[in-house]
Amino acid sequence: MKFLKIAIHKPFRQAFDYLPPAGCDPTQLQPGVRVEVPFGRQTLVGMLLRVTDSCDVPADKLKAAITILDEVPMLPPALFKLACWASDYYQHPIGEVLLGILPKALRQGKPESLSAEKCWYVTSDGWKMSLAELTRAPKQAQALRVLREHKNGLSEQAMKIHEIQTATLKALENKTLVRCEERWPIQEATVANPNNLALNDEQLKAVNAITSVGQQFKTFLLDGVTGSGKTEVYFEAIDKKLKQQQQVMVLVPEISLTPQSLQRFQQRFSARIATLHSGMTDSARLTVWSAAKRGKIDILIGTRSAVFTPLPNLGLIIIDESHDTSFKQHEGFRYHARDVAIFRAQSANMPIVLGSATPSLESLYNVAEDRFQHLHLTERAGVANPPAWHVINCQQDRPEDGLTQTLIERMKTHLAAGNQVLLFLNRRGFAPVLHCHDCGWSSQCKHCDVNMTLHQRPRKLCCHHCGALQPVPSDCPTCHSPNVIPKGVGTEQLADVAQRLFPEYSVTRIDRDTTKKRGELQRLVDEIHAGKRQILIGTQMLAKGHHFPKLTLVGVLQADAGLFSSDFRGSERLGQLLMQVAGRAGRGEQAGEVLIQTYHPEHPLLQSLIKNGYPTFAQSLLQERELAGLPPYCYHAVLQAEAKDPQTPFDFLQSAKHCPHEALQLLGPVPAVIARKAGHYRAHLLVQAKTRRELMQQLPTWLHQLLGLPQEKKVRWKLDVDPMDGL
């Protein structure tokens, strides 16, 4: 008798037992095939984990699976193994991991049909034909004109952009002027003159180190200041792998996957390059995923979730901006793509490169422990020099509407020289709070313990935590005084202020509000590149990755929030962010300048960063972490619980704390930083272990006990292994 252990796409921690479907030889089944199974009244798609000889449930109580959907595993063995490891490591239900990493159609049980796209080409008749002969069919003439401009064919999608109807093309086809062919959507583009730069010594050393390990696992930390030419190092290493017919995976933060960065790859490699990111349609993702699985993609550039793409000939993984927090998923399956990628590289024997100008403390610790090899690029490549830093003491030079006099004066100088200026303010909206001058009322969210932000265009109060909206009151809701005034400055207001102060220059604002529309971010960035905008105002969206050669002055308006963060990672984040923002200045031929407005100019963190630079700053933070016994010198997981009343989460976490847990240290429970969010009260318990191994060994048994606690059904709880925020 054989049984099938099947994982389903639901938040269950166990797999389910089924009998094989009638007529199926279970000994032939491989893990990773999808199986349709009855589940309660539903029919669900599950994935086979293994075939077993015994089962705890009596056989006559078991149902039979309905059909086996795949002949060969949908997830190739290497990826199946990766997903199982990630499910164990992050303590996330196996079915949600295995099925969650599949493109949607496959998760729903559909076959993996590879849709080649229809593509239209001009025929030799079509080339000979004079457009003048088509004057009586203007649509056809126009279509033929467009098609002639596309020697590599025009896809159905491109037709839509050019507003060409299929009927028009059919008419041309009948005249044998055009023809239609099916084409694989990811094509190899040929680059005539790849722009290979002569690498400097440090770059060469880095490339040699990476390529010399061949097909062995090794993690490199490519530590290079912004603009030092890390990308060129990736390119050389990638080139070597492509020449050996291997595939390369490049992971980037969502925000850096811009058309410009993609274009750099396209101008450098004659290869099949594809991207995977959250802005794609389900069908486009499926196409890329399937092509990758068949080895039909050479370079895959993707965000976080791309780490789970099947690539049979993968030979190298690169993680750009590897310190970026967006590699950690903060919802549902809370994996860290950097760590998953390292495991993947290890189990498939290949080098992995973590690039950063501001490496995470975890990575630096791994270097100190000899687990990673440190590669340095200490100078900006080409002509650019590092920017000069200055601190503005806001106690003496009081900012008015966000800007100090010193900063305004420097802006004048840089703008007059024909350069661009960036003002960095990590706070969108017009003002962070609306306040009554007479009774002290403030615009608190009804559902969260935070203030609602005032927005002017359109005018509304908005909670940035739960999304609640409210009309802006004309007088105070409690004392009816008309003196309700906005307090503090957000990017929306700053843009108005800057435009008022500098009417002769053009201001652009880049934050989540101005870039909601698809393609809008790109349009704004293009305008900056074209020199149409001189004053750039933005949140961290603008701070990362962009390369604006004419940008010479960066003003940081509010550094103080990061100096006094309650999160122990706050200072590391502040250091990284300031370096990133500063890295935007002086990337071209002219020297850059960074001005930081602060009420705490003597703050040791700020001083250390400015005087000694990021490496020394990071080392001193590491020493602090060691003294305080914090990660990376220990390992964390967080048990978070929430409910509609404040007490239940605490009761649940208290009981959890009393479950036996051997080598785990349990601290708390304490309320979350924002204790009430979207109407739910939240608290957490910190789980700490000396080694990763202890954490991994103890967590499952401890978690198992939680499932039996009486309060367990009354709260929503989740576990976050290696949490990156909210502490």
- Residues at the interface with Zn ion (CB under 5 A): 436, 438-439, 441, 445, 447-448, 463, 465-466, 468, 476, 478-479, 481
Rounded Cα distance, 100 and 308, in Å: 10
Among candidate residues 146, 521, 198, 238, the one with its CA nearest the CA of residue 381: 198
- Tally Cβ neighbours within 10 Å of residue 473: 15
CB of 714 to Zn ion, least distance (A): 23
Of 667, 675, 678, the residue nearest 639 (C-alpha): 667
Q: Give, rounded to a whole angstrom, the gap between the first and last alpha carbons of the chain.
A: 50
- In the complex, the smallest distance separating the C-beta of residue 498 from ligand ADP, rounded to whole angstroms, is 27
Apex 476 CA angle, 471 and 481, nearest 5: 140
How is the beta sheet containing 351-356 ordered, strand by strand? 188-189, 271-276, 299-302, 247-251, 314-319, 351-356, 218-224, 372-377
| Residue 214 backbone class (left: φ over 0; alpha: ψ -120 to 50; beta: rest) | left
Q: How far is the CB of 63 from ligand ADP (least distance, A)?
A: 55
Residue 675 C-beta: closest distance to Zn ion, Å: 12
Number of CB atoms found within 10 A of residue 495's CB? 23
Q: How far is the CB of 227 from ligand ADP (least distance, A)?
A: 4
488 vs 531 by CB, closer to ligand ADP: 531
* Residue 429 beta carbon to Zn ion: minimum distance, rounded to whole angstroms: 14
Q: Give the nearer residue to Zn ion in terms of CB position, either 448 or 672.
A: 448
- The Cα–Cα gap between 74 and 99 comes to 10
The least CB distance from residue 439 to Zn ion, in Å, is 3
CB closer to Zn ion out of 284 and 468: 468
Which of the residues 379 through 398 are near ligand ADP (CB under 6 A)?
381-382
- In the complex with ligand ADP, the residue whose CB is nearer, 203 or 598, is 203
Q: What is the nearest approach in angstroms of ligand ADP to the Cβ of residue 385?
A: 12
Nearest-angstrom CA–CA distance, 83 and 85: 5
Query: Helices 361-368 and 604-628, interaxial angle, to 10°?
Result: 60
Measured CA distances, 506 to 536, 547, 667 (Å) = 9, 19, 52
Cβ(69)–Cβ(24) below 8 Å:
no
Tell the smallest beta-carbon distance from residue 557 to Zn ion (Å).
25
Q: Which of 140, 168, 231, 406 binds ligand ADP (CB under 6 A)?
A: 231
- The window from 111-119, 220-228, 282-290, 429-437 that contacts ligand ADP (CB under 6 A) reads 220-228
In the shown chain, the binding pattern of residues 492 to 521 toward ligand ADP, with x for contact by CB under 6 A and - for none, equals ------------------------------
Copy the structure tokens of residue 241: 């792998």
Does residue 246 bind ligand ADP (CB under 6 A)?
Answer: no
Residue 399 corresponds to which amino acid? P
3-state secondary structure of 189: strand
Residue 382 site contact among Zn ion, ligand ADP, none (CB < 5 to 8 Å, cut-off depends on kind)? ligand ADP
Site string for ligand ADP, 167-206 (x = CB under 6 A): ------------------------------xxxx--x---
Q: Which residues have CB under 8 Å from 236's CB, separation 6+? A: 199, 203, 207, 211
Looking at beta carbons only, is 385 or 654 nearer to ligand ADP?
385
Pseudo-torsion of CA 702, 708, 709, 712, nearest 10°? Answer: 100
Binding partner selected for residue 481 from ligand ADP, Zn ion, none, CB under the kind-specific 5 to 8 Å limit: Zn ion
Determine if 339 is a binding residue for ligand ADP (CB under 6 A). no
Q: Which of 227, 399, 538, 562 binds ligand ADP (CB under 6 A)?
A: 227
| Residue 711: other Cβ atoms inside 10 A | 20
Residue 231 interacts with which of Zn ion, ligand ADP, none, CB < 5 to 8 Å by class: ligand ADP
Q: Which of these ranges, 126-134, 223-231, 284-292, 342-350, lies near ligand ADP under the rule CB under 6 A?
A: 223-231
DSSP state for residue 336 in the 8-state scheme: B
Q: Is 332 in the site for ligand ADP (CB under 6 A)?
A: no
Q: Is 228 in the site for ligand ADP (CB under 6 A)?
A: yes
Q: Which stretch binds ligand ADP (CB under 6 A): 222-230, 243-251, 297-305, 678-686?
A: 222-230
Residue choice 224, 315, 359, 386 for contact with ligand ADP (CB under 6 A): 224
User: Does position 649 bind ligand ADP by CB under 6 A?
Assistant: no
> Torsion over CA of 642, 643, 649 and 652, rounded to 10 degrees?
-100
Structure tokens of 493?
Answer: 């207001």
* Residue for token pair 């680059």: 191
Beta bridge partners of 389: 594
User: Which of residues 475 and 626 has its CB atom nearest to Zn ion in the complex?
Assistant: 475
- Count residues near ligand ADP (CB under 6 A): 15
> Considering beta carbons, is residue 91 or 640 the nearer one to Zn ion?
640
| Contact status, residue 446 vs residue 439, Cβ threshold 8 Å | no
Site string for ligand ADP, 342-381 (x = CB under 6 A): ---------------------------------------x
Whether residue 21 contacts residue 38, with contact meaning beta carbons closer than 8 Å, is answered with no
The correct pick among 34, 218, 230, 455 for binding ligand ADP (CB under 6 A) is 230
How far is CA 647 from each of CA 307, 572, 671, 711, rounded to the nearest angstrom? Answer: 39, 33, 10, 11
Please report, as ranges, the residues that interact with ligand ADP according to CB under 6 A: 197-200, 203, 224, 226-232, 381-382
